Chains A and B, each alone.
Chain A
Amino acid sequence: MNSQLLSLAIWVPILGALPVFWIGSERRALVRWLSLLVAIAGFLVTIPLYTGFDASQVGMQFVEKTPWITRFNVQYFLGVDGISMPFILLNSLITIFVVLAGWEVIEEKQAQYMGAFLVMSGLMNGIFSALDGILFYVFFEASLIPMYIIIGVWGGPNRVYAAFKFFLYTLLGSLLMLVALIWLFLEAGGSFSILDWHEMRIGMAPQILIFVAFLVSFAVKVPMWPVHTWLPDAHVEAPTGGSVVLAAIALKLGAYGFVRFSLPIVPDASHHLAPMMIALSLIAVVYIGFVALVQTDMKKLIAYSSISHMGFVTLGFFIFNAIGVEGALVQMISHGFISAAMFLCVGVMYDRMHSRQIADYGGVVHTMPKFAGLFVFFAMANSGLPATSGFVGEFMVILGAIKANFWMGFAAATTLILGAAYTLWMIKRVVFGPIGNPHVAELTDINGREFLVLGLLAVCVLAMGLYPFPFTEVMHASVDNLLKHVAASKL
């Protein structure tokens, strides 16, 4: 088996970013095409990960292992299972869209913009494939740097505040995680391998502490209520590409952390604290859903909708049954497509009107019919319409929740109403009705590039909604294995 694939997925975008930086922003055409080339190459090298994946196998695949820091037995240890592999593909695919989205609208320092996204894409792939605690941490933290720069340089008026808030909030969590990782290393007798940690026995008191350290780190990233407040700021201020990567990929890192670290390493603490996690998730689903309802800024609305949807993901993880966990994973991928598409749609309108306020729009369908069609479709998907990917994940999680407890499932199901309410109400005010003002009347419909991006995303959303089997198939074995781990006590 070819085992260099994961390294390629990580380093092709990062090394490809170097010539992009080097060319500099003066030669715009060259920068764009080279970035696109690198992004496509980065996606192509991840395809064999899917085609060569053995869905029946439980363990890690495409494993690479070389010593990195011999002093502390830190390994350059990569590998994917059915849980992490889809995210690498998703991330690499989204990177192409992000490059295309920044094609014309980024006028200042375009080379740095494109380069930062390519670097981040590589780092994200590193996070999803790292099987060594320190390697994971290093990728996890390093990915803050490009995001900080992206929000701060190309963001909106309040970008500096948002960039600092984003960076410090996330750093707060990850620093505590570092202490937990070192503690685990010493407890495991000198191993940073996550797989070794999965097998390790830990007492209840340290389990709780480790769970809390991981929780702070991942809850900020997800983000879970009540540490979600950085997200609306970051989303609103970030440029379109930044919002897309944040929503589609960065939020998944926190949720991924729960399945890779919290659940299998400290299963007893996870069970013990599951009621709290479920409560926090339901608050995110219901309360944040109401918060989304009253937003006047489209990006903020979608940001709150993201938090609410991610509440579903954490809910799915902590009800500990197969359908719930799988549903959560499907929801993560689906949300990756849909939130990316939603932010791109808002970006399309923002590029033309330089406003994100719902009140500034109205009757967009009259001037941008093609766009309106796609936007409405994505909005439907966002509110969980059957036959779109948004439905599959939510349905599975609700099913899992009802299995565990009827009222829990009932509370979760309110999202179907709330989600539809805030999304469709926004659509009604923005897309339909009479033309709101002269600026809307002057709008031009989307061009070929924008249509390509949104169209491809629509195909993904539809495909996943109609035939989710290829996505769930690769997960089965890994999810079963995970649940087996979680069920066994480590005390």
Chain B
Amino acid sequence: MLNNFVMPDLYPAAPEIFLLLMSFLVLFVDLFFGATHRWMAAMLTAVTLLGCAALTLVTSDGQTTLTFSNMFVDDLLSDFLKLMTYLAVLMMLVYSRQYLADRGLDKGEFYVLVLYATLGMMVMISAASLLTMYLGLELMSLSLYGLVAIDRDSTRGTEAAMKYFVLGALASGLLLYGMSMIYGATGSLELGGIAQAMYQGHSEKTVLVFGLVFLVAGIAFKLGLVPFHMWIPDVYHGAPTAVTMFVGSAPKLAAFAMALRLLVYGMFGLAGDWQKMLLVMAVLSIGLGNLAAIAQTNIKRMLAYSAISHMGYMVLGLMSGVVGGQVDAFTAVNAYSSALYYSVAYVLMTLGAFGTVLLLSRAGYEAENLEDFKGLNKRSPWFAAMMLIFMFSMAGIPFFIGFFAKFAVLLAAIKAGYTTVAVIAVMFSLIGAFYYLRVVKLMYFDAPADSAPITAGLDLRVLLSLNGLAVAGFGLFPDALMLVCTTTLMRSL
């Protein structure tokens, strides 16, 4: 029996292995130096992410390689998404350094949990089988539950973590149940095998669709789509801002990868079915997200509802790849690359928006109410301008990246024949513009309520400026990033 064991090709999974080993090192270092040299864990985490990026780049050959008995895939899409994930996590670490230090949260556990969550996302991104997908998802989710509760004296944080855990466990259960159905109907756990089984048409369609419903519900929960969005506002609100920033950024990329791999790679035979489900959820998310955001007075909650609507737009792109059950390569690439582009754009904007919240927070003070943004233009014209860029970008006003993301998605939707849906979507983004404009109004039109100087460190200031300039720069020159997204998808489909 032992003779049959074939050593898998570890090379494509080098970044994951490296990250795992480094996380042990962080644990060790924290054990011995954690009390005296807190910066070491943070530094090592950053080095780990940079090392992962280097390894990802080195091992990237543009080819699709399957390993671990076809359970793990390394293609251009996974490389690109992983690089974006490292970037988002690294930015989150820089943004939150001082915030965590001020609150005594910069413990070793924080960094280890961040690393494990990142590892989970990487596995999700590279998953080529239902099992690896679930493995990655659980690793990510469990680490995130812990992170949300990292401030153990905060009742709000604990409550949020509890909600997140209970609902997340339910969603995982649904997903797993769906997976078992799919496995039962197709006899395969690998996405390629599932697709093939469906193509051959030997599977029981009722069971497949039954499984698909649960699968889509699980995906929708991770993306935060209506009606599986309940956890988002509470978790965003309750978690420490640094963790909110984390939960709101990189995991969306992983969830996008999960949706794409499960639905497009695996369940393409049922495209007509999941398309309808996604359509309903996309429209509901865009509608409810934008409407509910208006009523918020807490900026973290506002951004939570805004996240729901943004994911709605992203899914609108994702579901536009199939026209009337027919696929042509151009439409498909168009749609999926628009969704990919939207995800990347969204992560950039979200990091910036939460970065501004962190900029205004200081020791013992959370700048999480909209009122805290009052008169920012008088306190710091530069950072008010940055927040203005993030807000207008999220509202989809040119010349910022958010506009081109919406534009690409709308184009994909109209191309797929969903003109009415596109009109509904833009009408809701008109409503959405109101609450983004309100933030700009508070910053520019109102007198400051809080005249304390901004104490954030140089690293945060520089990163926030770069982030703002990136959102504006990718808006002025959107070509490069769009082409990267398109090429990535074209070579990975």
A residues with CB within 8 A of B = 21, 24, 67-72, 109, 112, 134, 137-139, 141-142, 144-145, 148-149, 152-153, 159-160, 163-164, 167-168, 171-172, 175-176, 178-179, 182-183, 185-186
Known: A69-B478, A148-B437, A160-B441. A175 touches B398 (CB 8 A): no
CA distance A185 to B411 in the complex (A): 9
CA distance A112 to B397 in the complex (A): 20
* Cross-chain contact A152 with B433 (CB below 8 angstroms): no
The number of residues on chain B lying at the interface, defined by a beta carbon within 8 Å of a beta carbon of chain A, is 34
Interface assignment of B423: CB less than 8 Å from any CB of chain A: yes
Interface assignment of B21: CB less than 8 Å from any CB of chain A: no
* Cross-chain contact B426 with A179 (CB below 8 angstroms): yes
* Cross-chain contact B404 with A69 (CB below 8 angstroms): yes
Partner of B437, one of A70, A112, A167: A167
Name the residue of chain A whose CB is nearest to the CB of B330.
Answer: A190
* Cross-chain contact A142 with B397 (CB below 8 angstroms): yes
B residues with CB within 8 A of A = 377, 381, 388, 392, 397-399, 403-404, 407-408, 410-411, 414-415, 419, 422-423, 426-427, 429-430, 433-434, 437, 440-441, 444-445, 478-479, 482-483, 486
Partner of A164, one of B377, B381, B419, B434: B434
Q: Secondary structure of the A side of the interface?
A: helix
Chain A contacts for B426, CB-based, 8 A: 175-176, 178-179
Chain B contacts for A152, CB-based, 8 A: 441, 444-445
Q: List 26 A-B contacts (CB under 8 A).
A: A21-B381, A67-B479, A69-B479, A72-B408, A109-B377, A138-B399, A138-B403, A141-B397, A141-B398, A141-B403, A145-B392, A145-B397, A148-B437, A148-B440, A149-B440, A152-B441, A153-B377, A153-B444, A159-B445, A160-B445, A171-B430, A175-B429, A179-B410, A179-B426, A182-B414, A183-B414
Chain A contacts for B483, CB-based, 8 A: 70-71
Partner of A134, one of B388, B407, B434: B407
- Closest CB pairs A-B (n = 8): A138-B398, A175-B426, A152-B445, A71-B482, A182-B414, A142-B398, A182-B411, A69-B479
Chain A contacts for B415, CB-based, 8 A: 186
Name the residue of chain A whose CB is nearest to the CB of B395.
Answer: A171
Chain B contacts for A185, CB-based, 8 A: 411
* Cross-chain contact B433 with A179 (CB below 8 angstroms): no
Chain A contacts for B414, CB-based, 8 A: 179, 182-183, 186
CA distance A144 to B197 in the complex (A): 53
* Cross-chain contact B419 with A183 (CB below 8 angstroms): yes
Chain A contacts for B422, CB-based, 8 A: 179, 182
* Cross-chain contact B437 with A149 (CB below 8 angstroms): no
Chain B contacts for A175, CB-based, 8 A: 426-427, 429-430
Known: A137-B398, A153-B445. A72 touches B411 (CB 8 A): yes
Q: Interface centre among B381, B398, B415, B427, by most A CB within 10 Å?
A: B398
CA distance A144 to B404 in the complex (A): 17
Q: Could you tell me the distance in whole angstroms from the C-beta of B425 to the nearest C-beta in chain A?
A: 9
CA distance A21 to B479 in the complex (A): 28
* Cross-chain contact B410 with A182 (CB below 8 angstroms): yes
Name the residue of chain A whose CB is nearest to the CB of B384.
Answer: A112
Chain A contacts for B377, CB-based, 8 A: 109, 112, 153
CA distance A183 to B422 in the complex (A): 11
Chain A contacts for B423, CB-based, 8 A: 176, 179
Q: Could you tell me the distance in whole angstroms from the C-beta of B133 to the nearest C-beta in chain A?
A: 30
* Cross-chain contact B398 with A71 (CB below 8 angstroms): no
Chain B contacts for A109, CB-based, 8 A: 377, 381
CA distance A134 to B475 in the complex (A): 13
* Cross-chain contact A164 with B437 (CB below 8 angstroms): yes
Known: A175-B426, A179-B426. A112 touches B381 (CB 8 A): yes
Name the residue of chain B whose CB is nearest to the CB of A149.
Answer: B444
